[in-house]
Structure 1
Amino acid sequence: MIQSSSISDIENTTNSQQAQIQFVKWFRKVAPYVHAFKDKTFIIAFGGELIEDNCLNILVQDLSLLSALGIRLVLVYDAIPQANKQLKLKNNEKILSYDLEPINHNILECIKEASGKVRLDIESSFSQGLPNTPMSNAKIRIISGNFVIAKPKGIIDGIDYLYAGNIRKIDVDAIKSEIEKHSTIALLPAIGFSPTGESFVLKIEELATKAATSLKAEKLIFLTSSKNIEINSNLSGIEIACNDVDSIIKSNCLDKEMTNLLYKAYKSVNNGVERAHIVPYYLDGSILLEVFTHYGIGAMVVANNLDYMRQAKIEDIGSIIKLIEPLEKEGILIKRSRNILERDIDKFTVLEHDMMIYGCAALYEFPEEKMAEIACLTVIPELQNKGEGENLFKHVEKKAKLNGIEQIFVLTTRTSHWFLKRGFHQADISSLPLEKQKQYNKLRNSLIFIKNI
C-alpha cells in the first residue's frame, strides 16, 4: 500500500515538473518579441493618477525589466492630481482638469512643485534593489532636463492662456544620447521651457505624441485609469485601424478619457508612430502582457491591419512545423519532415500577424494537367471559424488561377463539408494528375475533392 505522504510527494514532483515545462514554453514564446524590441524606443505616458492609485512600484518593476531587455524607454508624465492638492493647500479654489484652460502664475508654481515631487517619487522607485525582489540587481539611471522647448499658446478666441504652452521642439539628439546608454531612462514632465527662461504647461498626450514621432519610437503606450477596456470586451486585446477610429468614437461607448486617448493614438500613428497602445495601468503586469503576448490586453491603434499574407521564407519553417505538427499527430495531415518543408518552402503561403505566423497553406502545381493541389491549409485553433482560413484559401486559389491553373483539388480525411461549401465536388483517384495518382496513399483513404476555377 502506498502511503499518503508518498502520493503527496509524487503530486508535488509532477506539479513542479509541469510548472517548469510551462515556464520554458512561456519563455521561448516571448523570445521573438525580445529579439524584435531590443534597441527599440518605447514612449510610456501616464498621468499623476497612477501614482495616487499606488500603481507606481509595480509599473517601475515592469519598466526595469523592459530596460534590462534592451528596450530604450522615455517616460512622459504629468502631475495634475498632485497639483490640485497643492492648490487646495494654498486655498486656491481652482481645480485643474485635462481640458484646455488658462494657467496663471500661481497655478504654474503648484504644477512645477507637484511635478518635482512626482519626479522624486519616480527616481526613488527606480532606486529600489532589495534582495529577492523584482528590482534586485537592477541599476537604472534616470535622466531628466530641459529636453522640451515650448512656447505660449497665446490668445485664442479672446482668452489669454498665459502659461499654457505648445511644443516648439524636442531635443532629440540629447535624449537619444542618454537612452542609448545601457539602463538609462529619460523622464519628460509635461512642462516645457522657452528660450526666455519661462516654463509652460503642456498636455501630456501632445507631449507623448510629439516625443514618439520625433524619436521615431517603435511604440507609444498610454497608461490609463479608464475602465472602458476592461468593461468593453470589444476593446480588449484588439488592434484598431486608423480608418475605424472615427466610427468607434462616434459609437459613444467610450468615456471622455478613453475618447481623448484614442484620438491622440490615432494622431500619433498618422504622424509616423508604428503602433500606439492604450493600456489600463491598474491591472498588474499590464505593460508586460501588452508587449509580450500576441493579443495583449489593451487597445492598439495601427495605420493598417497587421495581418499580412506572404510567401513563406526558410526562416518560417519552425513556425510552420508548430502549426501542422498537432494535425499530423491526429492523422489529419500527412507527416512532412523538415527536409521536405525546406524543399517545398516556396510552395507555402503564410499568414503573419505582428511577427507571429498563425496560418499556412501550400500550393503544389501540375502544369501539364493545369491542376494544383492545396495542402497544409490550417490556422491556429484560436482563429478557426473566424474567416482566416477562408482568406488564406482564397489567396491560394487566386494565386493558382493567375498561374494558369484551371482546377484545384484537395485530399482530406476530416474536412469534406468545408470544401463542399466552397464549390468543390467529390471525385475519384482517376481525376488526379498522373504523378499524384502514383503518390496516393490508399491506407489513408483520403477523400478527393476538385473545383474548377
Structure 2
Amino acid sequence: MKSNDWLHGFRHSSPYINTHRGRTVVLSISGDAIAHDNLINIIHDLTLLSSLGIRLVITFGARSQIQRRLDQAGESSRFHRGLRITGEGQLPLVLEAIGGLRSHLESQLSMGLVNSPMHNARIRVSSGNFVTARPVGVLDGVDFGYTGKVRRVDVEGIERLLELGHIVLVPPQGYSATGDVFNLSYEDVGSQVAAALQAEKLIIFTRHQGVLDEEGALVRELSARQASDRLAAGRLTGDDADLLRAACDACVKGVKRAHIISYAADGALLEELFTRDGSGTLVSGDTYEQIRAAGVEDIGGIMELIRPLEEQGVLVRRSREMLETEIDRFVVAERDGTVVGCAALYHFPDERAGELSCFAVDAAYRRAGRGDDILATVEQMARRQGIQRLFVLTTQTEHWFRERGFQPSTVQALPGPKLAAYNAQRNSKVFVKPL
C-alpha cells in the first residue's frame, strides 16, 4: 500500500461525510455478529460515525444466545416458518439472553480507553420500550406463544433521543397495551424501525460479503423489485432470504437504501458508506444510478471521464468552452453523484438524421449494461426530435455498435455539414441505425 493511500481515500470521502451528516442510519446486527471477534472494530466504526454527526439506531438479534440459554436450562426449541415458538416458561430465559446482550453492547459502546479509537468519545446510549408488538398468534394450527411481530414504533421517542445526540439501542422485544412482552425477529425490528423513521439507510450485517449469486459471487446492486423477484424465485433460503426480505421491505416502505454487508470483514461498514462502490450489496428503492440530461455542473465530470479516451485517440478532443456551448446536447449516467457515462446527440434536421457522439463509459463500469442504457436514452431523444436515422463515427468500437443494430455505411452518406467537417486523417468508420 502506498504511504499516501490514506490521504487520497480521506479526501475522497468528504462528499459522503457531508451527505450522511445529520441523517438517520439504522443498523441491524445479529447475535452471531455480536459474538464475532470483529465486533470491537464495528463498535469503533460506529463511534466514528457518531462523531461525524450521523444519527444512529442499532437494532440487534440474540438468536444464538437465546438458543444457548435454553440449552443450558434443558429447554427444547421449536421452530415453525423460520420463527422460534416462545412458550410462557421459556420467555424469562429469552428475556435474560436479550438483556445480557443489551448490557454487553452498552458496555462496548461506553469504552473510553486511552490509546483506543474511543478515547474521549463520550457516547450516550439509550434504550427503552420503543416497539409496540402483537402476538404472531396461531399459524397452521401452531400457537407461537410469546413470539410477536412489530405493531408500532415510537418514532417521537426515538427522534427526541437522536436530537440529543444519543445512539438508540432497540432490542428484539416488544410490548403490548396489556403489559405482555414478546420475542421479536430482529430482521423485522430493523426493517420496521427504519421504515417508521424514514431512515436514510438500513445497514444489515450478515456472515457473507453481501448477497451472493448462484456461483457464490457478490451481487453488488439490486432494486427492490429485483430483490423481490430473487426471493420469489427461491434463490435464497433461511437467514439469507430473511435479511434480503427485510432490506426489500424497508425500501418499499420509504427507506432510500438498504445495505447488506459482512460483519466479519474489518472496515466493511466504513467502506460501504464512504466509497463509491461499497463493500457489500446495495438494495435501492429509488434511482441509485440515473441517466439524465446534462447541466453545466456536469462539465467537470464529463471532462474527467473523456480525457483518457481523448489521449488514446478514441474520442475527438473537446475544450471546456465547446462543452459549455454544447452541454444541452449531452446526457450523463450519474452514479451516486459521479458522472460515469455520457453521450451527445447532434441533430441534422434537413436530413432527419442525428449523430451519436462523445459516447463514453467509465472503465470501471463497462460490461454492466450502462452503455446500452445510455444508447437507449439517446435513441428515445432522437425519436422525440423526429430523427429517422442515427449515425456514429468510430475508430475502435465497430463491433459494439454492429451488435446493437448499426450497419456499415460510407462517408458520403453523412449529412452535408458533417461531411464537410469530416477528418480524413482520423479515418473514422461510419455506422447507421434506422429508428
Aligned partner letter, 1:380: D
Q: For residue 346 of structure 2, what is the amino acid of its counterpart?
A: Y
Q: 1:192 aligns with which of 170, 174, 177?
A: 174
Task: After TM superposition, list the pairs within 5 Å mapping 1:52-451 onto structure 2.
Answer: 52-89=35-72, 91-95=73-77, 99-156=82-139, 159-182=142-165, 184-225=166-207, 229=211, 236-245=218-227, 247-249=229-231, 252-303=234-285, 306-421=288-403, 422-428=405-411, 431-434=414-417, 436-437=418-419, 439-441=421-423, 443-451=425-433
Q: What amino acid maps onto 1:344 in structure 2? A: E
Which shifted more, 424-433 or 160-169? Answer: 424-433
8 Å contact 2:209–2:218 — kept in the other structure?
A: no
1:43 Cα offset (Å): 1.4
Aligned-partner Cα distance in 1 for 2:314–2:137: 69
CA distance in 2, matches of 1:418, 1:153: 55
Deviations 1:113-149 (A, max 9, x none): 2222212221222223344433344332211112122
Identity rate, percent: 37
- Find the residue that maps to 2:121 and give its secondary structure: coil
Residue 329 of structure 1, CA deviation: 1.8
The amino acid of 1:213's aligned partner reads A
C-alpha distance after superposition, 1:191-235 (max 9, x if no partner): 112334332221111111210111011222221235884685566
Match runs of 1:18-33 below 5 Å? 18-20=2-4, 22-33=5-16
> What SS does structure 1 have at the residue aligned with 2:310?
helix
- Normalised by the length of structure 1, the TM-score is 0.84
Structure 1: gaps spanning 5 or more residues? 1-14
Taking the aligned partners of 1:432 and 1:156, their CA distance within structure 2 comes to 71
1:84–1:96 CA contact under 8 A, matched in 2: no
Change over 3 Å in CA distance of 1:366–1:230 after alignment to 2: closer
Corresponding pairs, count? 433
Any conservation in 2 of the 1:424–1:451 contact (CA below 8 Å)? yes
User: How much has 1:42 moved relative to structure 2?
Assistant: 1.6
- Counterparts of residues 7-46 of structure 1 (less than 5 Å): 18-20=2-4, 22-46=5-29
Distance apart, 1:347 and its partner CA? 1.0
**CA distance change for structure 1 residues 355 and 96 in 2, over 3 Å: closer, same or farther?**
farther
DSSP 3-state at the match of 2:90: helix
TM-score (norm 2): 0.88
Letter in 1 for 2:385: N
Counterpart Cα distance in 1 of 2:137 and 2:398 = 70
Q: What's the CA shift for 1:358?
A: 1.6
Q: CA deviation at 1:264?
A: 2.6
